[in-house]
Chains A and B, each alone.
Chain A
Amino acid sequence: MGRIEEAKRKQKVYGLLMVLPSFLVICLMVLYPIVRSIQTSFMDPKTQAFSLINYQQLFTEPYMVANIRFTLTVVLFTVLIVAAVSYLLALYITFSDSWFARTIGKLYLIPRFIPTIVAVYAMMNVVKDTGALNRLVNELFHIDFKPGLMFTPRGLVLTNCWFNIPFSTMLIGAGLQGIPRSIIESARDVGAGRLRVFASMIFPLSAKDFLIATTFVFMGNVSSFTTPYLMGARAPMMLGVALQQEFSSFFNMERAAAISVFLFLLSSLMGGFYIYNNLKASKWDVQDD
């Protein structure tokens, strides 16, 4: 065996050794719990024997079905509104040179740095029926204005937007930043209008980042807990809250496991979509190869 091959082999071993700790941590802290959860979810709560009862109840009990439907509705609206608003916001921040756009560009990330629980309480104190909005309108116009947002899906979507718009704006904005200004300018030079530039250049070039942002918003919200726990009604409730309730109030580990496996499947569906989009080579990327 040559010395070069020997060195290469050593390098390979060192490489594996360096990856090993994080690999083991992932096995122990991520893979093992997932396997255990899946296993537990197929156990009968009373006899611990193999059974599909947890899944059967999850998809047939009317209040659980209502919870699933409610969760998907809230997440769908959150994703749609966040995607639309943050794409427009990212476009504005990236392509406008006004002082206002620059100020927003500096400020928009601030909500990311406010702890969830603080932000949710702040939101509640503003929108609840005796909250800041109510008092302000009462003071100014003597109208007992009730925003009607507490305990409603609208309120949840509003708070979700507050948390997610900065994050997805950042993701999309980073994608937009990567579009060379030169190609936009040359397109404008040969007479392409604003809409034309957007439709055939900016949008195709940022679509991938847009989809990635959407995926992350979906995954982050489908299993959310703090916001729906504090702001949402007790029924129907989002699956994250139902999961916590089964686990720590009703001590029904098997059913909690079934809910978590279902949430995991929903998330991995989106995760798969994300990976597929990442692997798919865009025709604009060809030059890199």
Chain B
Amino acid sequence: MRTKAILCAIVAFAACFAAFGAGKDTVINYYTDGSDNVRVVWEAVIDAFNKKNTGVVVKLQFLASGAGGQTGTDKLIAAIKAKQKSVDIDLLELEENKITRILTEGAPNGLAKLDWKKIPNIASVSGRSLVAPDQAMPYRGSAVFIAYNSAKVPTPPATSKDLYAWIKANPGRFAYNDPATGGAGGAFVQTAIYNFLPAEAMRSVDEKWVAQWDQGFNLLKEIHPFLYKASGKVQYTVKNQGSLDLLASGSIDMCPAWADQVLDQKAKGLLPASIRLAQIDPPLTGSLYMLGVPSLSKNKEAAYKFLNFVASAEAQDIFVRVMKAIPVIDPAKLPADTVSMLSGLKANYRTMTIGNLGSKQMYPRWTREISTLP
């Protein structure tokens, strides 16, 4: 009883304080988590938004990954399960997995249907959530592309078939990392296998698809002898960085790589300026990061104002410059020097949700069958 009273007092005090401090502004809480670069970029975006005096002030609730705390998603699910009438989360960072969790573990209407009329900038945003297209707004992408040395390869392969043909025509000039050690090699292996399967397989955790992997594994066997060689043997690199190191030293001309990793290292001078990014068709995989508004939020209108800003060219420019993220709007709308920073990057990638089929079946099989090839 007493703790409850104290808690009430604190809440009341905090509410008064917030009301006095922000004048008439509506304060909304935005929950996100991740690596520190996520915090840095959001601080920059929120700062730019708050300076506009739109009557809405955004407060960042950031939880560093690995801190073991309760993420916004967990908190929202808990609030829904406890049948709360409202929640202090007005905006939440999402990706397909989190959306699935909120809609299944929480409630199908756990995320509000976004009122697109109040977010006019959505018109220029390409891509939607596959799980809940009307309940989340994409704001940045992160994906694997083909990184290549434009000084050696003037025109990069345009399709996956071209890429495999290029690998065979240029022995020793392509490398991909052990898929178990990093997502760049993972995307290369997964797409090489799933390009032979029906499109629905990429979004299925059903074990029945495992039986259809042979064709893809045969392809990986076929290109094996043409990959990067060192000390007389074909070598798979360790971690995403392994192939990039080879690309930087000129030992190879091409490898799959995370876009943000390449762009960040180019900006720091760790990769030569001649390294560019290209996507093949069908594209390699990545993930789309989105924002959503909980149905329990009392500040939906205010949240829409911020969402509209996030989809604007101004905010997208910040995501690209600070985080080297893939913008969700047409890069042509961004300033020219930001576009050049993107090195040919376009938001073109597939998402793949095969659960732990990758880590528990595909990668162990790769280790047994591909890495052991002479």
Contacts and interface: CB of A to CB of B under 8 A. Distances in A.
A130 B251 contact: yes
Contact of A151 (B231, B356, B360, B367): B231
B319 interface: no
Given A235-B367, A249-B363, A151 B230 contact: yes
Contact of B230 (A129, A236, A252): A129
A185 interface: no
A244 to B, nearest CB: 10
Contacts of A63: 367-368, 371-372
A144 to B, nearest CB: 12
B235 A151 contact: yes
Interface string B201-242: 000000000000000000000000000001111011010000
Interface in A53-74: 61-63, 66
Interface in A122-170: 128-130, 148-152, 155
A234 B231 contact: no
Contacts of A77: none
B231 A130 contact: no
B250 interface: yes
B231 A149 contact: yes
Given A152-B231, A234-B178, A250 B251 contact: no
Interface in B322-364: 356, 359-360, 363-364
| Chain A interface size range | 20 to 34
Contacts of A233: 233, 235-236
Nearest to B364: A250
Interface of B is mostly: loop
B249 interface: yes
A61 B235 contact: no
Contacts of B181: 249
Contact of A230 (B232, B236, B238, B360): B238
A130 B250 contact: yes
| Chain B interface size range | 20 to 34
A142 B364 CA distance: 44
B371 A235 contact: yes
A235 B230 contact: no
A251 B360 contact: yes
A229 interface: yes
A215 B15 CA distance: 67
B233 A151 contact: yes
A248 to B, nearest CB: 9
A245 B232 contact: no
Contact of A66 (B178, B235, B249, B372): B372
A91 B231 CA distance: 36
B180 interface: yes
A60 to B, nearest CB: 13
Contacts of B360: 250-252
A251 B359 CA distance: 7
Contacts of A155: 231
Given A150-B230, A249-B363, A250-B360, A129 B368 contact: no
B236 A234 contact: yes
A249 B186 CA distance: 11
Given A130-B250, A235-B367, A235-B371, A249 B233 contact: no
B225 to A, nearest CB: 15
Interface of A: 61-63, 66, 128-130, 148-152, 155, 229-230, 233-236, 245, 249-252
28 contacts: A61-B368, A63-B367, A63-B371, A63-B372, A66-B372, A128-B249, A130-B250, A148-B230, A149-B231, A150-B231, A151-B233, A229-B238, A230-B238, A233-B235, A233-B236, A234-B178, A234-B235, A234-B236, A234-B371, A235-B371, A235-B372, A249-B180, A249-B359, A250-B360, A250-B364, A251-B356, A252-B360, A252-B364
The 3 A-B residue pairs whose C-beta atoms are closest, nearest first, are: A249-B180, A235-B371, A234-B371
Given A148-B231, A249-B180, 18 more contacts: A61-B368, A62-B372, A128-B230, A129-B230, A148-B230, A151-B230, A151-B235, A155-B231, A234-B371, A235-B367, A235-B371, A236-B372, A249-B181, A249-B359, A250-B180, A250-B363, A251-B356, A252-B364
